[in-house]
Structure 1
């Protein structure tokens, strides 16, 4: 592997003739979005998002149900010196309550400029706020189409750099062997030279369909060398949305578990008045939370269908691994089981409470009947 200085000097002579920086922000805006109603209410240019590859025979690649894609005009935003977003923005509405906002920034010139742009886009507060403004306006526009509307504070962002043409032309085979340092710098949003271990970690997570395309996937950014990559970007965008929903649901479950444990603690207060009060409202709240969580979890995990497209299935597994979806999945399932356990224990205690009350009622009735028998004139 060549030294970073040599790599940088060689990349100074490589020019991007045509390319794009695709910037995605995913928001959770409510329990669910009724897509037909949102489609009817939206005033911007719209359609249902399904992607068909022009390069590969795709048997089955679709979202179920198909998200609503909206395109609207907005003010340009200078994300970095000399790099502005287009005056249009796309928004993808998913039925499980998520909206993904997509900005495009044209890139050209020295490749190192793209590396600096990647560093500028990392956790960019201004562009994130611009995306939130778009989402807030959109939620107001579609109104009743959103169930239990509430735009969560948590946001997930993901950047995709797509290079369509270099000058001079560089074969894909040379990209990894001769320029791994610059590729890694862009993906890690760091213009400083990285260690060989970091570089190797970045370039080892890659996928190609043919001999002229290459996709490198990292946890916060991807780099695509291809002219037709709509389907690749769609899979990566969905993975970012899935990460948002999993992390959001995990946070909701942490807060709910703290609250539900307090319910459980109240049922163990001995002979105090709490022993005889009903916990049906708490049980109802827990069961509603279980239903809402299960619907969201299943909606996300079953939204993307990749049957028959081996390449995109491989890409999704790669991106899911880089974003740690399996860890979130395991955490959510573990907490769902904990919620179920708390529900069962409180339910058992509620049943015991009812039986105790019934026993006391029976004892009281027996005592009353015995007492009545000793009152003169009450026995026949």
Structure 2
């Protein structure tokens, strides 16, 4: 397919944004432990809470870069990040102080959480620390959700999460809640009724929106027995129309066409200090691109980093949408691309 001038212009702007040294996204894993054991989870929970020297490294990195930044984004991931609440409080407070010291620095923060510990009071507390966007997953009504999103002790989680969502709705927390609703062949028959309940209960509040996401195989131990929907299943579009009914399209979240992992100025910091790019490929050695040092400097292996950025050089939108494709496709054409230098952001 021939690219238009506007397509090329958009691509080049996205490329420029991805290497800007005045923007930095840190995806932080304050703990890699979790209070859930979701049946499709791909994480192994082998690492615990972020080590003190790594926390110091994150704060020192912010200090090193703050004077030259216009935008700092801290994205909290896990495990379940709220199990390490004190680390979140420590680092976000440090980021707020950095924002106060440096004119022109905009600090933002978001969190991917299972929602079990995020009630209205906690949402207000996190908002005060700058954490104002939360992504929470639901697998359908309780009888479906509690089969797949279970606590580590095997007990269900839906009712607790739902009470927390109502608590947030009734609070004045300055937050945005993205409900990531997982779709599977098993729960599709109940989805119209469940999503109608979400629409009528939560979506009149502009702080809430929904992202309909097919469960896919991500390398977890139950992949072989999982049933998944086809990407072009027409029933997904029907559900989106149901959610928009009586409201507007902002009720539906549309993900960015370019993955964070394709951006040179986005880094994953694991609890043990390893640097990576992707929150899914945690067990793949290709996803370790270096280490954060206690003084805030970054020891980056450019040979490990380079494959994550190949979509910009190949101008392949599929690779930019998921850079992990470079490790799962036929590697021969990618090796040819990889011989040429790739421009990256200045990290130090």
Short-chain TM bin: under 0.3
Normalising by structure 2, report the TM-score: 0.24
**Larger radius of gyration between Structure 1 and Structure 2:** 1
- Say which structure is richer in helix: 1
- Say which structure is richer in strand: 1
Normalising by structure 1, report the TM-score: 0.23
